Structure 1
Amino acid sequence: MDGPGFDADLPAQVERALADFLGHSREEIVRTEPGVAAGIDTLSGFVLGGGKRIRPTFAWWGWRGAGGAAGGPAAEGALQVVSSLELIQACALIHDDLIDSSDSRRGRPTVHVASAKLHADRGWLGSPATFGLASAVLVGDLALAWADDMFAGAPLPAATLAAARPAWRAMRTEVLAGQYLDVRTQAVGDASPEAALRIDRLKTAAYTVQRPLHLGAALAGAGDELIGTLLEFGGDVGVAFQLRDDLLGVFGDPSVTGKPAGDDLREGKRTLLVALGLQLAAERGDDAAARVIADAIGATDLAGAAVDRVREALTSVGAVAAVERRIDELTTSAVAALERAHLAEPAPSALAELIRLATQRTS
């Protein structure tokens, strides 16, 4: 295919691939088991109801940067593979919302909340909340199972899919390991910066940037040296992305982020921002700031003026400035790695723009 192919509007192409797969998969099961239609539709609505498509985008530019075509049969197959990452993401988000008891996602009710409402509205037997929790677990599990189906069913040679499987397997394990580590860190109360960075590396960097790049490049036949450089680039970008997300979770505008300000604090997340806040407050002997930050972690009723006090404390002890410096350092090292990769155009330009979008201060 001549011209830009799928490069020109990748999110729309990912949306098309997902809609085609979900529609076909729904038809297969609902034809014989119509009672599951509501659950299937919940998943389809969640997957197709928004999202930045970050993981398919990084995977696509790994494919293109390693010499993959912009259009044609091979590109169509690669598109299906990279789009399947959104189903892993759906599983992770649905279960994450359940773990965190979150009420909203992207400005809409989370899957367990929406499913509980469906139960209540229809007057079904039993507890709406229990039904909502069970439905979210099962819908998330289905998303993960269908991700494998979408990957395996891509119209690509078996050897091409086999080359990408190490990245696929590593990514699934790493994101679940990162989620478990996140839960465990909250449970044991480890507020160290080192613990926060370990979670960032596993749960965000590896899953959001490194392995998608690895996956796309492997599909295009990239060698170990290029993949190694992309993993280095992706690690820095991924951590910087998570640190920006941590800042926006406390200081961001909910109308932009899609989540209430302070949600990470209410959920008890030990982010690097919080860890540095506690560490710097202790170093400065600022007991008042340390108490404000510590009391906010896991405070489910945190809102309004209380969130403002945490913001003031994190700023006054220097935690915000320290995280901003770390983002700048990671961005600089990511740019250097990108230059060393010598990717095929237009991948370098596209990835440079993704660095900017991932680390900018407003979204």
Structure 2
Amino acid sequence: MIALPTAPAARAAIDTAIGEATARLRERMARIDPSSAALGQAIERAADGGKRFRPTLVVAAFHTLGGDLDDPAVYSVAAAFELLHTAFVVHDDVIDHDIERRGMPNVGGEFRARGRALGADAAGSALLGDAAGILAGDLLLHEAVRLVASIDAPGETRRDLLDLVEDAVVVSAAGELADVENAVIADDGVAADAILVATANKTAEYSFCAPLVAGSVLAGAPTGARTTLRRVGQRLGLAFQLADDLIGAFGPADVAGRGEGGDLREAKRTPLIALARESDRWPEVSDALAQAHTGPVAVRAAQQALAASGARERLEQLIADTLAEARGLVVDSLLPDPARAMLLDLVEAVRERVP
């Protein structure tokens, strides 16, 4: 995962702001009833830990553009982007029918178990788990907006930041919907370009563009700097997600966070698969992918078929070209040297994720 250099005190301040926000939700919900109290606790667990990549981007952009790290507003905004990320993850789990994350029950998994403990049947427990996941995501989205709306900053700054949050939510929702739609329609009905757009929308806006621009807004950076950060963020976000697709297909288990070839076993329609479909060797790839769910040997066969089709090489080149565009934008920009150095480090960090 990407790690940006930040002062230990800044990381601690990010963690504190996130912890205070989720503790507030937990305490507020504990006053209602036992079920709400359990949901508040589950939300707190869902937001705990993690690499804090998105809030670190907010702070890094803010600091390298001249912001004062003693300003508490930056940590509230940083926390908002982490809660936004957690909300999307919780909702994704509902959409994907997942009941675990990082080897532990997620919000939905916890409430399925709660349903069973209360005497519900399998269908009732599943319904309760899905309801809890949807509501947890909604509450996290609300808390993210509340954090931004409550900062001590000029009204124009708050409005700009709230616009960024809205963009992040709307674009990411569009990307998620397109991703699901692409997954359910006929195999030959989705062009590679459409899958690439959905991939970028799901990740680039809320993971890179909005956090970077948010930091620049808080730092009082000029419009030109914000535009550059958005353009760089779009390319970094796309490259980041494409690298994730390669990791999901080819990355070792310790990097992927699950069994090797997880995307192949789950038959996900990623840009990698879309590129393979355009090759002359698609029939062989398709046959191999159809067997990938059966075990490690079949996964290896699918990996070999994808590599032989040229899809892996094409995706690696697309990542390299996208990162080259990002680097060019940074080098040619009028950003201060510290901001340019931070972004160039980020380009290299994304490049290093390619398996």
* TM-score, normalised by the number of residues in structure 1: 0.87
Matched position secondary structure for 2:332: helix
1:109-148 aligned within 5 A: 109-120=105-116, 122-126=117-121, 127-148=124-145
Aligned partner (choices 169, 172, 178) of residue 172 of structure 1: 169
CA drift at 1:76: 1.2
Does structure 1 conserve the Cα–Cα contact (< 8 Å) formed by 2:179 and 2:199? no
- 2:229 — aligned with what? 230
- How many Å separate the matches in 1 of 2:32 and 2:109? 27
- Tell me which residue corresponds to 1:315: 307
1:152-171 equivalences in 2 (<5 Å): 152-171=149-168
After superposition, give the CA deviation of every residue in 1:238-271 in whole Å (9 maximum; x if it has no partner).
1110111001011122333223333334544321
Q: Percent identity?
A: 29
In structure 2, relative to structure 1, the CA distance for the partners of 1:345 and 1:14 (3 Å cut) is: farther
Find the aligned partners of 1:141 and 1:154 in 2 and give their Cα distance.
21
**Whole-angstrom CA distance in 2 between matches of 1:194 and 1:169:** 25
User: How do 1:252-271 residues align onto structure 2 when only pairs under 5 Å count?
Assistant: 252-271=251-270
- Please give the alpha-carbon distance, in whole angstroms, between the structure 2 residues aligned to 1:327 and 1:362: 9
Matching residue of 2:12: 12
Specify every segment of 5 or more residues in structure 2 that has no aligned partner in the other structure, as ranges. Answer: none
Residues 1-363 of structure 1: pairs in structure 2 closer than 5 A: 7-8=7-8, 10-48=10-48, 50-69=49-68, 71-72=69-70, 75-120=71-116, 122-126=117-121, 127-189=124-186, 190-280=189-279, 282=280, 285=281, 287-293=283-289, 295=290, 301-361=293-353
Judging changes above 3 Å, is the alpha-carbon distance between structure 1 residues 312 and 53 closer, same or farther for their aligned structure 2 residues?
same
Residue identity opposite 1:229 in structure 2: T
Distance 1:102 1:359, change over 3 A: farther
**Preserved contact between residue 262 and residue 302 of structure 1 (Cα < 8 Å):** no
Q: Once the two structures are superposed, what CA deviation does each residue of 1:184-203 show, in whole Å capped at 9, x if it has no partner?
A: 11122344210121112211
- Cα deviation digits, residues 7-26 of structure 1 (max 9, x gap): 44544332111001211232
Contact 1:68 1:220 in 2 (8 A): yes
* Preserved CA contact (<8 Å) 1:163 1:221: no
> How many residue pairs were aligned?
347
Q: Distance in 1 between matches of 2:12 and 2:34?
A: 29
How far did 1:362 drift?
6.3
C-alpha distance in 2, partners of 1:176/1:155? Answer: 29
What is the CA deviation profile of residues 116-175 of structure 1, one whole-angstrom value per residue up to 9, with x for unaligned ones?
12332x343343222212211111111111111122122333332123222221111011
| TM superposition shift of 1:224 | 2.6
Q: Distance in 2 between matches of 1:341 and 1:12?
A: 31
SS at match of 2:220: coil
For the Cα contact (< 8 Å) 2:6–2:60, is it kept in 1? no
* Counterpart-to-counterpart distance in 2, 1:266 and 1:123: 34
Matched-pair contact (CA < 8 Å) for 2:30–2:36: yes
Distance in 2, Cα, partners of 1:307 & 1:337:
38
In 1, Cα distance between equivalents of 2:97 and 2:252: 21
**Shift in Å, 1:355:** 2.3
**In structure 2, how many angstroms separate the alpha carbons of the residues matched to 1:11 and 1:330?**
29
Amino acid at match of 1:356: E
Name the aligned partner's letter for residue 165 of structure 2. Answer: W
Provide the rounded CA distance (Å) in 1 between the counterparts of 2:81 and 2:282.
44
C-alpha deviations, 1:37-78, integer Å up to 9, x for none? Answer: 111111110101x32222212222232233322x22xx2111
Gaps of 5+ in 1: none
Distance in 2, Cα, partners of 1:9 & 1:351 = 21
Is contact 1:230-1:341 (8 Å) kept?
no
For 1:125, give the aligned amino acid: A
Post-superposition offset of 1:209: 0.7
CA separation in 2, counterparts of 1:24 and 1:360? Answer: 38
Q: Cα 1:111–1:357, aligned 2, differ >3 Å: closer, same or farther?
A: farther
CA-based RMSD of the aligned residues comes to 2.3
CA distance in 2, matches of 1:6, 1:24: 26
Residues 43 and 172 of structure 1: is their aligned pair in 2 closer, same or farther, counting only changes over 3 Å? same
Asked whether the 8 Å contact 1:262–1:303 carries over to 2, the reply is no
